[in-house]
Amino acid sequence: MSFVGARMTTTLFALELGASAFTAGLLLSLFAALPMLLSVWAGRLIDRVGPRRPLTGAFLALVAGNALPFAFPQLWILFISSTILGTAFMLIHIGMNSVFGAYGGPERRAMNFSWLALGFSFSGSAGPLVAGFAIEGLGHARAFLLLAVFPVAALALLWARLHRLPRPERAAQGRRTGIMDLLRTPALRRTFTVSALLAMGWDLYNFLIPLYGAQIGLAASTIGVVMATFAAATFVVRLAVPFLIRRTKSWVMIAAAMAISGTAYLLFPFVENVPALMALSFLLGLGLGCAQPVIMSLLYEA
């Protein structure tokens, strides 16, 4: 909730401070810049020390990343906070996928990732709603402070768990491997490519809808409602994923998801009224939300 709400608030706050669309896009790209460079290192760290300490540091970084724009409500600080928030959430995402993948056997893996995806769908819906209404009621800077509360709660829940978090079994290897070794694996290379395309579709939505909404004069709370519709669709379709997985091949589901998502994007430029934006957001959420847990399961198996 903290991360999703912060991405939306960053875009709207930057526009409020006079940033151009290019600058807003640059800010949103910083959420992924260091994660792109550090994700393999983060995975090795979690393999080596376990998920608890990296998750603790990541939650604290989320608190700091959200508190900075409140303490220094200026455009330049958003470049720093975006980098911190993106890197922190990358550690959380890798850590939680590792934990969920280690629960149970291979036959439970797709189901486990569906449950994790449902959690992200719920937060993806609640985060923009909280951010939108907080911006209208408290202002952009105080909205960031409110979003800093959620990782504090997450940290308390993490440390309330006395048992060790599950870790995947280490595969025996004779030498240190790098990212190119991963790309030489055909099953991984294929899944990485499709995953990258769908991730671009997901992140484009998180950037374009706040920007488009602001351009056509929508209030922050209305933009939050539209984005919550997208997340609600991912929640709905992920409830059906366990049923679909048992009856449909994984790559058929991914192909259908890409077709649905592409159709929704083609229609967005032709609508400006809120009900139509919500309908297209829901359609896009069905497509992108269906594919993610399937891809994570394929990646983990490969």
For the stretch 107-146, pLDDT in tens is 677 677 778 877 887 888 888 889 989 998 899 999 999 9
Alpha-carbon torsion, ordered 126, 141, 80, 97, to 10 deg: -20
What does each C-alpha distance from 98 to 55, 69, 121, 298 come to in angstroms?
Answer: 11, 31, 18, 14
pLDDT tens per residue across span 64-97: 999 999 999 999 999 999 999 999 999 998 888 8
User: What value does the mean pLDDT of the chain take?
Assistant: 85
Phi, psi (deg, nearest 5) at residue 30: -70, -20
**Cβ proximity of 172 and 287 under 8 Å:** no
Looking at residue 169, its pLDDT comes to 66
Identify the H or E element spanning 26: helix 21-49
pLDDT beyond 80 at 39: yes
Looking at residue 134, its pLDDT comes to 92
Distance of alpha carbon 78 from alpha carbon 30, whole angstroms: 10
Looking at residue 88, its pLDDT comes to 94
Neighbouring C-beta atoms of residue 24, cutoff 10 Å: 21
Full-model pTM: 0.78
**Cβ proximity of 112 and 166 under 8 Å:** no
Q: Tokens 């059906």: give the residue.
A: 240
- What topology does CATH give the domain 2-164+180-301? Growth Hormone; Chain: A; (1.20.1250)
Pick the most confident of 124-128, 210-214, 240-244.
210-214
% of the chain surpassing 70 pLDDT: 92
Pick the most confident of 17-31, 108-122, 174-188.
17-31
Looking at residue 124, its pLDDT comes to 81
**Cβ proximity of 104 and 175 under 8 Å:** no
Distance of alpha carbon 112 from alpha carbon 100, whole angstroms: 6
By 3-state DSSP, what share of the chain in percent is helix, strand and coil, each rounded to 5?
Answer: 85, 0, 15
End-to-end alpha carbon distance in the chain = 30
